[in-house]
Amino acid sequence: MRRVLGLAVAGLLLTSLAGCATSGTVTSKRFEEGGYRYSPGTTTWTTECTTSGGFPPTTTCRQVPGGTTSDFRHEPECYRLTFKNENGRTGQDCVTQQVYAELEVGDHYERGR
């Protein structure tokens, strides 16, 4: 059973990797400035219970908002290249400033360069 599951996962991984290009002709270049980005929060819920003083006592519980979390995260700058391979599949990659400056639209790019 584990072997079948492992083969299925490996097959899905290979299929997903086959969907994007790892090299090709640069079709566009774009600089994305880094900075802090705000991510809207999510509400956390807690259970609040009350007990009545009657006989027998009854306890009633309900869900109440416990607070909201939000996220400010730093995203680094990105020198993004978009490229297309000979099969028409596209890919994107953030590269160093040096690689970005060296390549022009129409040049060949290989991921990991």
pLDDT band, very low/low/confident/very high, at 19 (cuts 50, 70, 90) = low
**Residue-range domain boundaries for the chain:** 21-110
Residue with tokens 């099969």: 87
User: pLDDT of 33-92, one tens digit each?
Assistant: 888 777 777 778 888 888 988 788 888 888 888 877 777 777 778 999 999 999 999 999
The predicted model scores a pTM of 0.50
Rg (CA), the chain: 26
Q: Is the peptide bond before 76 cis (omega within 30 degrees of 0)?
A: no
Mean pLDDT across the stretch 90-95? 93
Tell whether the torsion through CA atoms of 83, 106, 85 and 97 is positive or negative: negative
Read off the pLDDT of residues 28-38 as tens digits, 9 standing for 90 and up: 999 988 887 77
φ, ψ for residue 29, nearest 5 deg:
-130, 140
Question: Are the CB atoms for 89 and 21 separated by under 8 Å?
Answer: yes
The predicted model gives 4-22 an average pLDDT of 50
